[in-house]
Amino acid sequence: MTGALYAAAGSDPDRLVEVAREFSPRIEVCGPREITLDLSGLARLFGDARAIAGELRRTAADRGLQVRIAIAGTRTAARLLVRHRAGITIVEPGDEASALAPLPHDLLTGLTSGPPEVRSRGSLDPPQGTALSSGAGSSGPAEAAELAAAFRRWGLRTLGEVAALPSADVAARLGQAGVQWQRLARGEDPAPLVPAVPEERFEQALDLEWPIEGLEPLSFVLGRLIEPLSAHLERRDRGAAVLHVRLHLVSKATHERSLQLPAPMRDARTLRTLALLDLESHPPQAAIDRVVVAVDPTPARVLQYSLITRPLPSPEQVSTLMARLNALMGEGRCGSPAPVDSWRPGAFSMVPFAPVEAPSDGPGQVGQVSKTEAPVVVALRRFRFAVPARVQVEDGRPVRVTTERRGLDGGRIEKCAGPWRTSGEWWADTRSGGSGRPGGAGGENTPWDRDEWDVTASDGATYRIFRARDANAWFIDGVLD
């Protein structure tokens, strides 16, 4: 059996859902005032359909709700009847079409303008159940209004007249949307009942008998809380997107930390390690007497490994490693370099480290380029700090470069290209920050003014050298490979 529950305007939607869940775990919320539910098997507890409807109505009245109830063999029939008739309506399975025949076809307009994610599931034959108003249909509000206007122009007034039309002619004139309307007019369900899953809280809390201080005792408490939380996520096939740790201190303050995880994960050991490493960098200011751990759930990730390419490290391994590095070096000092829109030599920004799989170029190639098609790539191995050098200049061009850095022999310059002059940030206030190193290697607001050269020395190496014009000094910026 399928039942529909329709509440009066102004009713509390939460109380309506509570009433429906007291009778069946399979309910579908169709709107703030309408719910469908599957009543299969309730006859053993309450009796026939009229007894079930009476019990539903009494339970709703105890909650202060005025409801309409319709029970039929399909959800569509129950929804249409509950929208048109007050009180209790009972239709035996198989009599849906005859019960709906005298109803006006305008009822279909509200029935077929529900949520698009429900309306797009197609036309499957569902099992009999309880119907509370749902948005199952096949047309949007504008298209539904056009279909209703077309039926009125044809002189049709009731659902029975719509259902009696030849299906082939309806499809030829109105398309599949018209055929879907005709099926609804006969009381056929366009989609199975999709049970609404109650909202679950993925949270664990523990009140401590004695306050604790330090990460070592806190580690045992976090492990005790995260392990059942991880098991709950695994049972629901979910992963944690955000990890929340809330510490209630003896000073009546609350220390809260939230970790945005790079990928859905539910490994208890990894989650505990990430929480501890974050608390190591941001320790609480007093002893702890209550610990709360919660996660924001998300669908678990599906891993598909390749038989050709080497797999990347798991997100759990990467997250743990990055958390350890951030705890050691400080936040914002670990990640992946990214280019920035600037002419400053060596300028880059730091972004979170997130490795991605290399794209494949087709069968047998696996993202590789053949030797005959491999492009020539010139890379500059830039020194973190420019190396001071002595450069001899003749006729405005460098002819010899030497330095005291081990491994950089230098010597007579055999080939050179340049100069390329760059400058910037000369408008900034130099007192606002920056290290003030020559050549503009300081902070973002440090001015720079330099002439760059690419030179090949007698030792066989190709260097990029520059002269800092503001300091009139030469440096080696890097080595070209």
Residue 219 to residues 64, 226, 245, 277, 340: CA-CA distances in angstroms?
A: 49, 10, 12, 10, 40
Task: State mean pLDDT over 42-52.
Answer: 87
pLDDT of residue 266: 86
Q: What is the pLDDT of residue 112?
A: 60
Query: Whose CA is closest to 126, among 190, 180, 182, 179?
Result: 190
Instruction: Tell me: pLDDT of 299 over 50.
Output: yes
* Sequence-ordered list of residues with C-beta below 8 angstroms from that of 335, at least 6 positions apart, any chain: 322, 350, 351, 352, 353
| pLDDT number for residue 136 | 38
Residue 432 has pLDDT above 50, yes or no: no
- For residue 137, give the 3-state DSSP assignment: coil
Q: What is the mean pLDDT of residues 240-256?
A: 91
Residues 289 and 249: beta-carbon distance below 8 Å: yes
Rounded distance between C-alpha atoms, residue 254 and residue 244, angstroms = 13
Give me the residue label for tokens 């939607």: 13
Buried b (16+ CB within 10 A) or exposed e, 43-63: eeebeebeebbebbbebbeee
Q: If you average pLDDT over residues 208-215, what whole number do you get?
A: 88
Residues 334-360: tens digit of each pLDDT: 888 888 888 888 788 888 777 665 555
Query: Per mean pLDDT, which range of 27-41, 50-64, 175-189, 421-435 is the poorest?
Result: 421-435
Provide the percentage of residues in the chain whose pLDDT is more than 90: 10
Query: In the numeric block, which tokens belong to residue 32?
Result: 């703030």
Q: What is the mean pLDDT of the chain?
A: 79
Query: Mean pLDDT, to the nearest integer, of 297-324?
Result: 72
Question: What's the whole-number mean pLDDT along residues 44-50?
Answer: 86
Q: What confidence category does residue 46 fall into, taking pLDDT thresholds of 50, 70 and 90? A: confident
As a whole number, mean pLDDT of residues 251-272 equals 88
| Interval 121-140: pLDDT, tens | 332 233 333 333 333 344 56
Q: For residue 206, what pLDDT band results from cuts at 50, 70 and 90? A: very high
The confidence band for 287, taking pLDDT boundaries of 50, 70 and 90, is very high
Q: Could you tell me which residue, 139 or 435, shows the higher pLDDT?
A: 139
Higher-confidence residue of 85 and 119: namely: 85
Hey, where are the domains in the chain?
Answer: 2-185, 203-299, 380-480
Question: Quick check: 310 pLDDT over 80?
Answer: no
Q: 445 pLDDT band (50/70/90 cuts)?
A: low
pLDDT category of residue 431 using cuts at 50, 70 and 90: low
* 203-299, CATH topology level: Dna Ligase; domain 1 (3.30.1490)
Beta bridge partner(s), residue 389: 474
13's enclosing H/E stretch is: helix 13-23
Using the predicted structure, report yes or no on whether residue 115 has a pLDDT greater than 50: no
On the question of pLDDT at 103 being above 50, the answer is yes
Stretch among 99-108, 295-304, 440-449 having the lowest mean pLDDT? 440-449
Tens of pLDDT along 375-394?
A: 666 788 888 888 898 888 88
Q: Which string of b and e fits 189-207 if b means at least 16 CB within 10 Å?
A: bbbbbbebeeeeebebeee
Task: Indicate whether this model's pTM tops 0.85.
Answer: no
Query: For the domain 2-185, what is the CATH superfamily, name and number?
Result: Reverse transcriptase/Diguanylate cyclase domain (3.30.70.270)
Q: Which residues pair with 34 in a beta bridge?
A: 6, 31
3-state SS, residue 109: helix
Out of 193-197, 198-202, 249-253, 360-364, give the one with best mean pLDDT. Answer: 249-253
pLDDT at 423 over 90: no
Q: What's residue 294's pLDDT?
A: 93
- Cβ pair 78, 36 in contact under 8 A: yes
Q: Which of 212, 228, 218, 211 is nearest to 294 (CA)?
A: 228
What is the per-residue pLDDT for 316?
67
Closest CA to 453 of 472, 468, 435: 468
Which tokens hold the place of 56? 């539903």
- Rounded Cα distance, 418 and 161, in Å: 88
- Which whole number is the average pLDDT over 411-437? 73
pLDDT of residue 22: 86
